[in-house]
Amino acid sequence: MDQESLDNEIIEDKLKLAARRNRKRIRWSSELDALVAQTEDLNTCRWIIDQVFLMKDSIL
């Protein structure tokens, strides 16, 4: 397993856990090597983006 896919898996696991803790309604799927998160409201979309940026430094 290469480093990039490992990082993607870590990000996916942490993001899903944070979403459950914060009771966010998000539909998850995967396309090729990408995690896809879908939601119906803009605030949750922004929350997802913010979470990824907050995690970025601690993971990579």
Give which of 27, 24, 48, 47 is closest to 38, Cα–Cα.
27
> What are the tokens at 39?
């939601």
Give 58's contacts (C-beta < 8 A, 6+ positions apart): none
pTM score of the predicted model: 0.75
Give which of 7, 12, 10 is closest to 48, Cα–Cα.
12
Q: pLDDT tens digits for 11-39?
A: 888 999 999 999 999 999 887 878 899 99
Percent of the chain residues topping a pLDDT of 70:
83
| Range with lowest mean pLDDT among 6-10, 17-21, 33-37, 46-50 | 6-10
Spell out the domain ranges in the chain: 3-59
Given a cut of 60, whether residue 4 has pLDDT beyond it is no
Task: State the average pLDDT for the chain.
Answer: 83
